[in-house]
Homo-oligomer: A and B are copies of this chain.
Amino acid sequence: MIAASSAAGRFSLNQATVKHADLETAVRVTAEAGIPSIGLWREPVAEHGLAASVRLVRDAGLRVSSLCRGGFFTVPEGPDRRAAIDENRRAIEETATLGAPTLVLVAGGLPAGSRDLVGARARVADALAELAPDAEAAGISLAIEALHPMYASDRAVVSTLKQALDFAAPFAPEVVGVVVDTFHLWWDPELAEQVARAGRERRIASYQVCDWVTPIAADPLLSRGIPGTGDIDFEAFSALVRDAGYDGDVECEVFRQEVWEADPAEVARSAAEAYERLVRPHLDAQPAESAVSRSR
């Protein structure tokens, strides 16, 4: 029997890690690797059909840990913004239909030709206010993902965990939470303080693990690695997440050319092995000792 607080049974393979596999293959290799949960993406789900995806995942005995992704709502008011909001509403419905607890939101970058970062950020707050009632009605949470600051102009104007938490603050924690992603956040001098805050405010909707690998890939989006292949201290990071009281799923989400080109079954096994070796022990460990050392 697994205690509720145990980190066994909490690992999830994010589908992006086996990006070139179709949904059936992704589900199969996840189940075969003994991984209990999968993080899905909208595009392959649409390709397979939403109802068929629900059946496929259920028949494989998997849970869906999250759906990627909504967001991309930094454009000013007008038809493009309305289309983005509508697209997010569809994503919320899909999340609920798939039985996933959370929809991951990537804010979007500067609108084309704009240098108004402050304005783009203000529009993130507006979009959340529009979408939160839909998420609440659907019984899912929106999870704001702070992306690494190197993506601030072209992908996500939300750049730190503090900022994500500030965006979430006006809403109930079960409606708007945050993603804690090691790759995007590991560098932050305020990491410990903000992860603890995220725990206190009950905002951690997802913990995503992948490594920071240098040199940065020529396409910087693909610079992530399976835990253990880069510079991140997963013991220290996972201990912060554990001490923050997080007991939900832990996704491994890797964008990397070599990983995508490898056999998906092998990738699923490697990711599960990395989780068991580098992450799970530190989620399972009792927080007592670190609490003592912090109080010294």
**Neighbouring B residues of A160 by C-beta, 8 Å:** 188-189
A117 touches B186 (CB 8 A): yes
Q: Which of B149, B186, B212, B233 contacts A187 (CB 8 A)?
A: B149
Tell me the number of copies of this protein.
Answer: 2
Q: Which B residue sits closest to A119, measured CB to CB?
A: B233
Whether the Cβ atoms of B163 and A121 lie closer than 8 Å is no
* Chain B residue at minimal CB-CB distance from A233: B115
| Min distance, Cβ A25 to any Cβ of chain B, angstroms | 30
Contact A110 B231 (CB under 8 A): yes
Interface residues of A in 112-150 (CB under 8 A from B): 115-118, 121, 148-150
A116 in contact with B233 (CB, 8 Å): yes
Q: Are A117 and B187 in contact (CB under 8 A)?
A: yes
Residues of chain B within 8 A (CB-CB) of A232 are: 115
Q: Does A46 contact B (CB under 8 A)?
A: no
Interface string of A170-209 (1 = CB under 8 A from B): 0000000000000000111100000000000000000000
Instruction: Give every chain B residue within 8 A of A52 (Cβ-Cβ).
Output: none
Q: Select which of B118, B148, B153, B236 is within 8 A of A149 by beta carbon.
A: B148
Among B149, B154, B187, point to the contact of A214 (Cβ < 8 A): B154
Residue of B nearest to A162 (CB): B189
Residue of B nearest to A154 (CB): B214
A197 CB to nearest B CB, Å: 15
| In the complex with contacts A121-B189, A188-B149, A231-B115 CB distance below 8 A | yes
Is A61 part of the binding interface, using a Cβ–Cβ cutoff of 8 Å?
Answer: no
A116 (CB) vs chain B CBs: closest residue: B233
A1 within 8 A of partner (CB): no
**Among the listed stretches A15-23, A33-41, A215-223, which one makes contact with chain B, having 4 or more residues with CB under 8 Å of it?**
A215-223
Whether B148 pairs with A150 at a CB distance below 8 angstroms is yes
Apart from A153-B231, A160-B188, A215-B220, 9 more pairs, CB < 8 Å = A110-B231, A117-B233, A148-B150, A149-B187, A150-B220, A153-B187, A153-B230, A154-B215, A166-B189
